[in-house]
Each structure stands twice: as C-alpha cells, then as structure tokens.
C-alpha cells in the first residue's frame, strides 16, 4: 500500500514537472519571471519549495540554497532529484521551526504559498527577519478571481487567504517590505505580455518583487 502511494505521488510530481517544461503553461511562465529576477548571491531560501523545481534550477547561482516545505513526500522527491550537493539543504516543516539566523538570506521565494498560510503575518515577519537588509522576496499569488473561486464558491478550501492584487501589495508593505515590481503573469485568452504588465488586475496571477 505504501509503495502504491509512493508511485501515485511520483506520477503526480512528474506531471507537475511537465508543466514547468511546457512554454504554454502558466507554471512555466511564472518560473521564467522568477528566474529572470533572481540574481546570484550567497544564500537563497525557497519557502514552500514543493518538489524542488526552483532548487534544481537555481542551485548553481548560490553558495547556500535552502528549501522548506510541510509536505514530507515532496521534500523526499526533491531530495531524489537534487542528489547530495553540499550547499543544498531541504527540510520538512514550517519555516519558523528552523530558527534561521537574522539577516541570513539574500533572496526568499514564496511562490504560490501565501494563499495557503493560516498565520500570514507570522510567516511574513519571519521572512523579513531572515532576509538581509536589501534582500529580495519574490511572491506569486492568485489574482482577485480567487476570491470568487475559493471564498464565495468554496471550490478550493486550501486557499485560506484571498485578496485583490492591491491588498497583497499592502500586506507586504505592512510587514516591512518595499514593493519594487508588481505585475501579472500571463493574460487570459490573448496571452499578452504587454497587458500583463499594464493591467495586472486582469492577469492570470500576480507576481511581486519586494525588498527589505
């Protein structure tokens, strides 16, 4: 039974990998923007690293790379993908349980994570604490339509936090971050890069780059 569950997990995780490899898929487009704005540095942490897609793609840009996630199967799958490089550390658990040093990381990724967190201010306070002064946090979150899908229709109970793009920006500011870039990733139907930048409110999801 345990072996069957592992096979099912691995099948699902490999399907997720295929979305990152598909240029037409939203996940690939998110990844492209993230990789564009992550510069080389000393240390990066991926909060909610999942199956380790960004850990795999960024492991050569940083001297230390840390991924944390509350899903043990995803962490184990990520470890298999990455192998045993001495500068990569993958942990299962909540971010605050690891007690990372103050101002330790140059970059923090929170990709499709904040909508799931019960203690949103607590998580943002912790990411702010462990980021170096001038360090960047990169966030992707659902756009305003998620208010209807998850809060009104209750079709996605895993999305606890549902806000407009303006409210997401305000929450980051309230927790000490300065917004540097705010835009949509992809635009529905016509998939316009121009409109994704100019009309974030109507885009498929929201991309925010902020600094401490």
What CATH number should be reported for the domain holding residue 70? 3.40.50.150
Structural element, H or E, at residue 210: strand 205-211
Q: What is the predicted pLDDT for the residue at 53?
A: 96
Residues 113-165: pLDDT tens digits? 999 999 999 999 999 999 999 999 999 999 999 999 999 999 999 999 999 99
By the 8 A CB rule, do 107 and 44 touch?
yes
By the 8 A CB rule, do 59 and 65 touch?
yes
**How many Cβ atoms sit within 10 Å of the Cβ of residue 61?**
14
The torsion angles phi and psi of 147, rounded to 5 degrees, stand at -60, -45
Structural element, H or E, at residue 55: helix 53-58
User: Which residue range forms the structural domain that includes residue 152?
Assistant: 2-211
Report, as an integer, the average pLDDT of 50-57: 95
Q: What is the predicted pLDDT for the residue at 19?
A: 95
Domain count along the chain: 1
Model confidence at 68, pLDDT cuts 50, 70, 90, reads: very high
pTM over 0.85: yes
Report, as an integer, the average pLDDT of 27-40: 94
For residue 206, list its beta bridge partners.
141, 184
For residue 185, list its beta bridge partners.
205
């Amino acid at each position: 039974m345990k072996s069957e569950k592992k096979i099912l997990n691995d099948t699902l995780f490999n399907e997720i990998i295929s979305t990152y490899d598909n240029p037409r898929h939203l996940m690939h487009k998110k990844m492209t923007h993230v990789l564009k704005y992550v510069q080389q540095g000393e240390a990066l942490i991926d909060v909610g690293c999942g199956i380790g897609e960004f850990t795999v793609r960024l492991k050569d840009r940083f001297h230390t790379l840390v991924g944390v996630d509350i899903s043990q199967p995803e962490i184990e799958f990520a470890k298999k993908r990455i192998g045993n490089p001495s500068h990569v550390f993958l942990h299962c658990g909540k971010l605050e349980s690891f007690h990372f040093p103050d101002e330790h990381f140059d970059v923090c990724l929170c990709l499709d994570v904040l909508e799931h967190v019960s203690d949103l201010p607590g998580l943002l306070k912790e990411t702010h604490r462990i980021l170096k002064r001038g360090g960047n946090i990169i966030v992707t979150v659902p756009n305003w339509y998620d208010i209807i899908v998850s809060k009104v229709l209750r079709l996605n109970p895993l999305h606890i936090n549902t806000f407009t793009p303006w409210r997401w920006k305000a929450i980051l500011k309230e927790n000490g971050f300065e917004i540097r870039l705010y835009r949509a990733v992809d635009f529905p139907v016509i998939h316009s890069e121009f409109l994704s930048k100019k009309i974030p409110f109507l885009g498929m999801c929201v991309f925010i780059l902020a600094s401490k």
